[in-house]
Amino acid sequence: MTELVDLTAQELLVLYERGETSPVDATDACLAQIERVDGDLHAVLTLCDTRARENARESEKRWRSGNPRKLEGIPYGLKDIIETQGIRTTGGSRLYADYVPAANATVAGRLEAAGGVLLAKLNTFEFAFGEQGAFEPARNPWDLTRTPGGSSSGSAAALAARELPVAIGTDTGGSIRVPAAFCGITGFKPTYGVVPRTGVMPLSWSLDHIGPMARSAFDAALILAVIAGSDDLDPATTAMPPCAGDNDLSVTDVKGLRVGFPVDWFFDVCDSDVRLAMEAALSVFEQGGAKIIDLRLPHAHLSDQRGIGWSIIYPECAAAHRDNLDRLDEYGPNFRQLLTNAQFVQAAEYVHALRVRERIQADFQTAFESIDVVLTPATVAVPPPLDDLTATIGSETYPWLEVIARATTIFNLTGMPALAIPAGLSREGLPIGMQIAAAPLADYLCLRAGVWFQAQTSHHRLVPTGAHLPSIAGLSR
């Protein structure tokens, strides 16, 4: 029998409608799961159990009265850089350890208005950057000695461990998609501006994205339909976001879909297991009738986060934190180093990075004249140990920050939508993620391709098992 904590949001909504379970039952099951496993996992920073149970009871009343909202009674979590009215929002930092916002972030308010039940604020790297800040790092449910990735570490770990069915993360260089790949879950970075950033602690204003994390592409689409849309307080938001109601996610085939498969950059440095998983995924699309097209991106190598990525992130982050520079000693060592480095980025470097960014965008604009989507790895390596954050690829060992966002940063620079979904396991039994990207505002094309792929495969139904989290072993889909 499938347990409540293993159900997706879509499946829960069906059962609520049938009266076969209730938001109270689902919330209690998730809270019990958090109690069972989070002492080892550290995905949760602030538990909202009392409020969650109250909201679940209200949702149950709405279902009984025939007046449910879009996400009525669906438990969810928020990365702890997303502000929540009356609930501590730490940013993963000592600087905000006791900060209680007076208002909700736009995305938090939209989820609440849609009937979602907030269970927890979830672990994050400090202000969504680089490495862990003030709190115990979240751990990967597949192997507690390994990182779940960052910076949406708690969101991905909580989903994989069945603590909740959906969560919200943020993504500046891959911070939704990297942990999604490392933890074997689904993560979606929408087109830049589709989801408002109002009330979300900033890292880099021109690269920051907010997006859904879940255990299926269909659930990601459900959440996106609620949180997307323009916001007067965020001038970067688009006035015409994609709408789930106008897009059929029940895709029966991908015949004629033109899938671009890069022949360079993404695979120049890539673990052999990851490469094999990408080739297997490509075969699934090809067998479904998709047309596979070799893709060359002349300027992809310029997307290296150590290059123009840092040249954009550093000054924009420094600007966001300028009012706290006199409290530098209260930041964690990694974030403090970022702010220190940021003081040495010259205006000419920043402007050059923005110009190079336009070249990469132009490459994709040309590519989309002959393709519909791009298929790449989500990460080029499997999750490394927490006590040795390096990536071993073949005979070479790399500092993880040099390669971890190799396949993801490029889609922050271009603002394109990109979906990370499970694509199998490595020989060590660790998750491998693939990435489907599309042209700006073609968000639901990404999601439809992901929904179709997950209908053909069972990678997204795999559950962490074995000695690491025995309390979730045995769950089956």
- Which residues are designated catalytic? 79, 151, 175
Structure tokens at 331: 């930041």
What's the CA gap between 135 and 35, in Å, rounded? 18
Q: Is the dihedral of CA 223, 226, 227, 229 positive or negative?
A: positive
Write out the DSSP string of 425-468: E-TTS-EEEEEEEESTT-HHHHHHHHHHHHHH--GGG----SSS
Strands (DSSP E) found in 217-369:
258-262, 291-295
What's the CA gap between 335 and 244, in Å, rounded? 38
Closest alpha carbon to 140 in 151, 120, 154: 154
What's the CA gap between 341 and 447, in Å, rounded? 37
Return the DSSP state at 114.
Answer: T
What's the CA gap between 334 and 457, in Å, rounded? 39
Helix (H, G, I), strand (E, B) or coil at 168: strand
Helix (H, G, I), strand (E, B) or coil at 47: strand
Could you tell me which residues come within 8 angstroms of residue 418 by beta carbon, excluding any fewer than 6 positions away?
A: 177, 188, 189, 408, 411, 435, 436, 437, 446
Could you tell me which residues come within 8 angstroms of residue 235 by beta carbon, excluding any fewer than 6 positions away?
A: none
Per the CB < 8 A criterion, the answer to whether 151 and 200 are in contact is: no
Q: What are phi and psi of 42, to 5 degrees?
A: 60, 35
Q: What are phi and psi of 468, to 5 degrees?
A: -75, -45
- The H or E element that residue 214 is part of is strand 209-214
What's the CA gap between 195 and 193, in Å, rounded? 5
Tokens 């998730």 locate to: 30
Closest alpha carbon to 432 in 145, 142, 152: 142
